[in-house]
Amino acid sequence: MTNKKKAKSGSDSPTANIAANLRAARVAAELTLEELATRSKISKTYLWELENDEEGQKKPSADILLKLAKELGTTIADLLGLPAVQVDKKKVEISPSLAEFRELMKSLGTPLSQEDLQALALTRFRGGQPHTKEGWFDLYGTLKRTTGRE
């Protein structure tokens, strides 16, 4: 009796939703178990076990989840049924120092895209933002290098 209760309490874990979410994503992608297994380089048996793990006993690694998410065109958060961050498409306030940085980039012949400007305006590090155009320049360069968007 206690084993059943433990199994049910396991269903409250983040991995409990994987079975239904994985199956739904695979069906939406119009892939068979075998096709997804081949593409993601995961055994068909293990994939079947994940899709049929109603009590959330299987704990796939992040590597497995990433492979599956990539092949299904989704995210690990979606597979786990976790909330994802979404950015509102509303106007974002530009600080005076960011406005100076925007003008600097324009004068250098590399104006910021609206997307980059908005991303910078929303960036916070420990709750704060750069206070000078030089600080923004450093942050922007770092973000471009680390995201491979140079």
pLDDT digits (tens, 9 = 90+) for 94-120: 889 999 999 999 999 999 988 888 888
Q: Do the beta carbons of residue 10 and residue 55 sit within 8 Å?
A: yes
Nearest-angstrom CA–CA distance, 110 and 64 = 40
Q: What's the pLDDT at 16?
A: 62
Taken in order 41, 44, 47, 49, is the CA torsion positive or negative?
A: negative
Chain segment 45-54, per-residue pLDDT in tens: 999 999 999 8
Q: Is the pLDDT of residue 2 over 60?
A: no
Alpha carbon 20 to chain centroid distance? 19
What's the pLDDT band for 39 if we cut at 50, 70, 90?
very high
Residue 47's identity, in one-letter code, is: L
Q: State the chain's mean pLDDT as an integer.
A: 82
What's the pLDDT band for 128 if we cut at 50, 70, 90?
confident
Q: Is the pLDDT of residue 31 over 90?
A: yes
